[in-house]
Every structure is written in structure tokens, then in C-alpha cells.
Structure 1
Amino acid sequence: MRQTSNTPFPTVLITGGAGFLGQACARRFRVAGWRVVGLGHGRWTADEARAAGYDRWVNAGVTAEALEGLADLGQDLHAVAHCASNGSVPYSLEHPLDAYERTVGITAVLLDYLRRHAPQAMVLYPSSAAVYGAAPDRPLQESDPPNPVSPYGFHKVMVEQLLAAHAACFGQPAVAVRFFSIYGPGLRKQLLWDASGRLLSGESPQTFFGTGEETRDWIHVDDAAALILHLADRVKAKPTSQARLDLVNGASGKRVTVREVLKRLALALGSPAEIRFNGTVRAGDPRFYHAAVQRMHAAGWSPSITLEQGLADYALWARKAHLPAP
């Protein structure tokens, strides 16, 4: 049933709705009482879409045609969690033009649709610590100048600039959450996925890129989705007439070396494999990531899942996910 602008059940559109973060957001918003509309690549039945957290599902990319099919939302649309994006640094290095279109191009299309149909809707964008790029080994502040080292990072900066432009010129409110290392069950790429498969193989030693002293700041996907929901609820509760782009880091605020997180993962997996590093730094991999989280705390939110809890959760899932198909 279509909701009106006076309904106590606000509507959120989630792009990239079949993805890792998109599905986590759908679950969070649905439990919190929002009406959840999803746009993404997933040939789900109505029952499958509801099980994933969606009241309405559109199997399509972020295109002008697909968005025009949602024009009936109009003033009923309160927020957009724009999770659709290229999610790979290596892919951006190998296919920079396509990665640009999947990140910057689709955002321009989305913002033009919102400008015409839902200028009041808050855009919640999962940006990335990749905007900081090459940075010193200290907590990174939202006020630090961007210094990306990969097309992926540059594209995230471009999207933030687009959001700022539409806020200033068209009144479209937006928040860019600069997430650091998001992980959790369902993530089949990046360091923990690759490492868990290798650590479960029974082979030892296992040699990884880098020195092991690189630092990362981890946040569980359920906490990442909870932060996006919190920011949406906060704006809904206290709307402002002045549209702008707000920036906030999304992270634990805790500095952990790659060596330490792999040791903890091996322990959670029950793997005795020796962990080594080859000293080679891959293109696009910054040495240090550590978030300053004062703005996040000032917004009234903190993560609830510790790294120990999260790695245990991930290890339990990874054991099953890496099993060969029967």
C-alpha cells in the first residue's frame, strides 16, 4: 500500500540493494519500521524480496529509465541509501572508465532524478576512507584534505563533490559516511575472504602482500548499516531547512595492524598456519588507515560489535562459504 507524506512509516530507497551493504541496510531499516524500496541486480520473487527486507523490489541498475519507474514515490521518499557503486580498488585500476560510470556516472543520474522528483529526500552515501589515500599514521579527520591513490578513491571524492553541488545548488540534503574497512558474513572479496580461504586450506606457511604493519580500522557490516539508519532517523527527527553535505567517518576508531587481524582471524578459524608477508605493497593500497570518530560520537552513535565478536561471526560463516559445492 502506498504511504503518504503524513505516514508514520517513512520510505527509504536502497540502490545496490542486492549487494553486501545494501542487504544489511534493508534489514536494519525494515526492522526499524521503514518502508523499504530496493533497486539492484537480483531476480527475486516477491517472497524472496520480502525475506531480504524489501517491501518493493526493482531488478535493475541505477538508470534514468529504472528511476522514472519509481517516480510515484515523490514526496513519500524520505531517504536514499545509495549503496550502488564499484566496490573494488583493483577493478578501478584495470577498468577505470567502467568503474567511473558505476560510481560517479550512476550518482549523477540518481541526483538528477531526485532533483526533479524528491528534492527533500536525504541522500546517505557510503563513501570510503580511500578518499584520504596516502596519509600519516594518525587518526584521520573529516577535515583532512583528500589524497586518493587509486581511481576508486578519486571516484569517491567525485561523488562527494556531486553531493555537495546538489546540496548547494538544488537543496538536496546529503551525508557521506567515509567507511573504513567494512567486513562481515556475506563479504566474498578483499582481505578477510581471501585470507580465510587460504587459512582453511591446510597449507602453511601463507604469505600475504605488504609488511603486516599496515593499519586498518574495522567496522562490522551490521554496525555500518546501523549507522546509516541512525543518521537517517536523526535527520527525520530534526529536519533542517538548510541543505548541505555532511561528512562523517564510519569506523571503530581503533588502529589494528594487518598482521594482528590475520592472527585473530586464524585463531577464530582454528587454523595453525604460519602467517608471513612478502614486503610488496600493491598499487592502490595505502599504508595507514585509522579514523577519528569524534563526529560520529557527536551524532550520538557508536559501534556495538567488537572486532573479536565480528571475526568470530565472520569465521563461522566463512567456514561454510569456503566448503566446496557438493
Structure 2
Amino acid sequence: MKTLVTGAAGFIGAHTTLRLLREGHEVIGLDNFNDYYDPQLKEARVRWVQEAAGDFPLYRIDVEDHDELERLFAKHRPDAVIHLAAQAGVRYSLDNPRAYLDSNLAGFLNLLEACRRHPVQHLIFASSSSVYGANHCTPYSERHNTDHPLSLYAASKKANEAMAHSYSHLFGIPATGLRFFTVYGPWGRPDMSPMLFASAISHGQPLKLFNHGEHQRDFTYIDDIVESLVRLLPQPPSANQYWNHGDPDPSTSAAPWRLYNIGGNRPVHLRVYVDTLARLLGLQAQLQLLPLQPGDVINTCADASALEEAIGFTPQTSLDEGLAHFVAWFRSYYLRPLNIPVVNEQACSLEPKGEIA
């Protein structure tokens, strides 16, 4: 398939692009390389993909640019779109709300319009476990209520789900929304907990644990995310002929639209997570326990039974295995140039599974 991957220089986007190229797909990449975090990391991800799987067309444009996006679609006419470009981050949305309005809402509308004018076989778009918000009924099911988001980021992702549904209903665009649960692994974003925690532990700095470290998260390794994406790509949703208008199922529709959780249904206490990371680094963690932050969801846990039924797969990488792969990459990318000593070489010797050529 000829697949457009937006956010191709991002964490999930780079891994997805690499996997698709290795499997023989034609990939067109799009990324704006903004400075929400260090653009050099994005450039390094692209070089990593190119060295491992060859060159691919990569457009340095923004989904907010309606005209440029239209020209890209008209030129390449992709068969499918994996939309991963977005303004990420929960806490960042408290100080920079308009970044989410521009990228996650206006940008997504531009993408939907492009898919309408240049029909695609399948649009897969990133949502988030944060849409469950104030709902404390875990494990989260796609059938649960998501009417009470706790951050603008979460609200923008819920809005994406509704926007995609309206275009599926009106124009027949087959659209699948994926609610990712705390994705981690090599090449992750610097603002994500694995990077923040590993950096603090490695430099002997206090590690901030909000909600006094009482959070639980359903950590999902990047390879499991990509495996799910690749398996879903050739399976666009069709209209659910049994959908009940009187008792509507929030995860399906009479339109060709579907929502899936992607998580392992194995929530981990944050302190266990930190202890595992510190052990793999061979160092001690200094904890700074802080109150719950505005916008934070206390616990997450995915009911991924619908995903397993659809593709015969659910995330399965254990936390020990996944963090070992992450630590190996983190040390090679961040610690070696700084000459920070490696205390436990054996614990961190694993190469990221199937990702480093």
C-alpha cells in the first residue's frame, strides 16, 4: 500500500515508518519538525529509519497548512493514512492551549478534508487513553463514557474521534481511532516519563513523582503499538449493520468508523516502574513526592479485548523486557557522549528488539 504517515519524525511515527518500509510498503512521510522538543532528536530518528530501511519522501510541512497538504495528496494520492502528527502533552496544554487548537483540531480537519477530496481506503488516527478522564472504572473499555476529559489535550483527542465519525458518516471515509496507553521505548519523546525518569536517575537528580507516586499506568511498548497498527492497516472498518440507534455502542457505528484501545491490561504502580528502571540503569533513584497535577488521570488500564478479536493480537511485551530495550538505547544516545559511567553493563546490554539495524 502507498501510505502517508503524518508525524513521521515523531516517536511512534518513525517506528511505524521503519516497519512499513521493511515490509515493502511505499511510505510518504510528513512532519513539521517543530521545537516542542529538540528537533535534533527528530532528525536523528529520520536518519535511523533511512539507514535501516532506505530513503523515502519526507515533506517538511504542517498539517495546519491546508494548501500544502492538498498539494501532497493530489501528487501522491495515498491508499491509506496513518495520522500521528499532533500537539502532544497534558501539562503543556495548560500553558499553550492554542497549540492544541491549531494542530489537533484545525490540522485534523485539514486532513479529513484531504481524505474526502482524495478518497483513501483507510484512515487510522491517534487518540489517547486520556479521553477516559474522570472515569475511574477500569479496565477502560471503548464502550465506557468519555464525556469528562481532564485536559485540553484529552478534549482535543475526543474531538478528533467525533470529527472522524462525522466524516465517516457523511463521506464514507473508513476511519479507525486508536487510544494509545502510555507508549514507551527507544527514541521516545524527552517529555515522557521514561526519558524524564532515566535522565534524573542517571544524573543523580531528584525524580519528581506526582500524586506521591501513587499513579498506575498501563505501559505499552512501542513494538506492540506498531504491530497493532500494521495489522489494522489492511482492515478498514465497515458499517456495523447491527448498530442500535436506541442503545448506541460508542466504539462502533452505522458508519465505517471504529475505536480501539491499545494497551496490555497490565497496570504498573509508578514506584515499581521507577525501581525497575533504576535497576536496569544500575543506579539509585532519588524520589521527590509531589501532589497530583491538574489534568492528570490517576490510573489507566486498557481492556484490549476488541483489538485482540479484530487482529488476533494484543500488547504483550513485559515491562522488564521493554525497559531493558529502552535503557540500551537511552545509554547509547544520551549517556555515552556525556561519559556517564555504566554501572550495570549486563542488565542494559539488550539491543532494541527489531529496531536497530
Same fold (TM > 0.5): yes
Q: Structure 1 residues 104, 52: CA separation in 2 closer, same or farther (over 3 Å shift)? A: farther
Contact 1:131 1:153 (C-alpha < 8 Å) held by counterparts: yes
Q: How does 1:125-274 map to 2 (within 5 A)?
A: 125-136=125-136, 138-146=138-146, 147-187=148-188, 188-203=190-205, 206-235=207-236, 243-274=255-286
The AA in structure 2 aligned to 1:190 is M
Matched, 1:291 2:302: yes
SS in 2 for 1:186: coil
Tell me by how many angstroms 1:106 deviates.
Answer: 0.4
> Of 19, 24, 32, which residue of structure 1 is paired with 2:15?
24
Equivalent residue, structure 1, for 2:57:
56
SS in 2 for 1:320: helix
Q: Structure 1 residues 33, 202: CA separation in 2 closer, same or farther (over 3 Å shift)? A: same
The AA in structure 2 aligned to 1:258 is L
Equivalent residue, structure 1, for 2:37:
none
Q: Structure 1 residues 322, 56: CA separation in 2 closer, same or farther (over 3 Å shift)? A: closer
Tell me by how many angstroms 1:267 deviates.
Answer: 0.9
Q: Which range moves more in the overlay, 186-195 or 315-324?
A: 315-324
Equivalent residue, structure 2, for 1:6:
none
Q: Which range moves more in the overlay, 156-165 or 51-60?
A: 51-60
Q: How does 1:99-114 map to 2 (within 5 A)?
A: 99-114=100-115
Among all aligned residue pairs of Structure 1 and Structure 2, give the percentage whose two residues are the same amino acid: 29
Which consecutive residues of structure 1, in runs of 5 or more, have no partner in the other structure? 1-9
> Of 73, 78, 86, which residue of structure 1 is paired with 2:76?
73
> Of 6, 30, 40, which residue of structure 1 is paired with 2:31?
40
The AA in structure 2 aligned to 1:268 is L
SS in 2 for 1:105: helix
Equivalent residue, structure 2, for 1:122:
122
Q: Distance in 1 between matches of 2:324 and 2:26?
A: 32
SS in 2 for 1:69: helix
Q: Distance in 2 between matches of 1:239 and 1:35?
A: 24
Contact 2:197 2:274 (C-alpha < 8 Å) held by counterparts: yes
Tell me by how many angstroms 1:303 deviates.
Answer: 2.2
Q: Distance in 2 between matches of 1:55 and 1:25?
A: 13
Tell me by how many angstroms 1:319 deviates.
Answer: 2.4
Q: Distance in 2 between matches of 1:318 and 1:180?
A: 21
Tell me by how many angstroms 1:321 deviates.
Answer: 3.5
Q: Structure 1 residues 20, 207: CA separation in 2 closer, same or farther (over 3 Å shift)? A: closer
Q: Distance in 2 between matches of 1:194 and 1:100?
A: 26
Tell me by how many angstroms 1:207 deviates.
Answer: 4.6
Contact 2:204 2:286 (C-alpha < 8 Å) held by counterparts: no
Equivalent residue, structure 2, for 1:277:
289
Tell me by how many angstroms 1:240 deviates.
Answer: 7.5
Q: Distance in 2 between matches of 1:254 and 1:22?
A: 24
Q: Structure 1 residues 138, 239: CA separation in 2 closer, same or farther (over 3 Å shift)? A: closer
Which consecutive residues of structure 2, in runs of 5 or more, have no partner in the other structure? 34-41, 241-253, 340-357
Q: Distance in 1 between matches of 2:289 and 2:132?
A: 25
The AA in structure 2 aligned to 1:247 is L
Matched, 1:318 2:320: no
The AA in structure 2 aligned to 1:161 is A
Superposed CA RMSD in Å reads: 2.4
Contact 1:224 1:250 (C-alpha < 8 Å) held by counterparts: yes
- Deviation string, structure 1 residues 266-286 (Cα, Å, up to 9, x no partner): 1111112344523x0011111
Q: Distance in 1 between matches of 2:306 and 2:4?
A: 25
